[in-house]
Amino acid sequence: MKILITGGAGFIGSHLADKLIDGGHNVVVIDNLSTGKKENINSKAKFYEMDISSKELEAIFLQEKPEIVFHFAAQINVRDSVKDPIVDAQTNIMGSLNILENCRKFGIKKIIFPSSGGMVYGDVDVFPTGEDCREVPLSPYAIAKLSVEKYLYFYYKSFGLKFVVLRLANVYGPRQNPKGEAGVVAIFLNKMLMGQEPIINGDGLQTRDFIFVDDVVDASILAFEKDEIGIFNLGTSIETNVITIFLKLKELLGLDCKEIHGLEAPGESRRSCLDFSKIQRVFNWSPKYNFESGLKKTVEWFKDQ
């Protein structure tokens, strides 16, 4: 099939492109390279360097005639969204609407969109958290993700555009950007390999649900292959705290790093963990990697870099 991936030069999008191309699909990548890297792009993919808000997007849809769209392009910095909600909305809401309008105009069969399971629910008291939990997003980034989810439902009910929303837990793995404000595994790994001491925010007992990038790619492909639509959590239902990450990386790298604590990050959730039983039931998906096996693959890739 002809498949379009926005953000296909990024962390998750580039892994997805590789897997789809290996499966015999014809892949087109759109990326403005603001956070993505050209070296991540599969040589067999057709690449357009373009912002998703561009009016020229329509010409790409017209020329390439994709059947499926994976919309993975986004402004991903939560702190930046707080500093400038308008800029965040221009990319994450208006840019997404530009994608959806072109999907409508050109009869796209299905669109797959990664939302943020760690952000759209906000502070909850049910763990693991299921899709029926009330959403209370606490940042413009999270509000934008939830807004696009609602627009997807509108386009489905009004125009028949099928969709799957994957509410992702904390994704980690090869190619993750270690210089962003998210991605504690990549940030810690990069600092340790450069001989620096990583800083643990607060007491380090805050937990997250960590999912390996290959598992996310597998679920994304199932989402387009199956007929079902809707919103699905994508995680492991296991909580891991930051100190555990630090100690495991220290062990895998054989380094004698000191455990240094800094200030708590303002607005940071204490716990995050997703119930993936719905996607397990509907798509017969479950994570293949536990945290230790995924971490080993991630460490090897970063060492090779």
State the catalytic residues. Answer: 141
The residue among 148, 167, 132, 42 whose CA lies nearest residue 92 is: 148
Hey, CA dihedral for 258, 237, 12, 263, is it positive or negative?
negative
Question: Cis peptide leading into 287, omega within 30 of 0?
Answer: no
Please tell me the distance from the alpha carbon of residue 29 to that of residue 294, in angstroms, as a whole number: 26
- Give kind and range of the element (H or E) at residue 208: strand 207-208
Distance CA 99, CA 90 (A): 13
| Residue 62: burial class (beta carbons within 10 Å; 0-12, 13-18, 19+) | exposed
Q: How far apart are CA 81 and CA 212, in angstroms?
A: 25
Nearest to 232 by CA among 151, 163, 175: 163
Phi, psi values for residue 196, rounded to 5°: -105, 160
| Residue showing tokens 């950007």 | 177
Between CA 94 and CA 115 the distance in angstroms is 16
Give the residues across from 162 on adjacent strands.
110
Helix, strand or coil for residue 109? coil
Q: In terms of DSSP bridges, do strands 240-241 and 207-208 run parallel, antiparallel, or are they unpaired?
A: antiparallel
**What does the alpha-carbon distance between residue 80 and residue 61 come to, in Å, rounded to a whole number?**
30
* Tokens found for residue 121: 């629910």
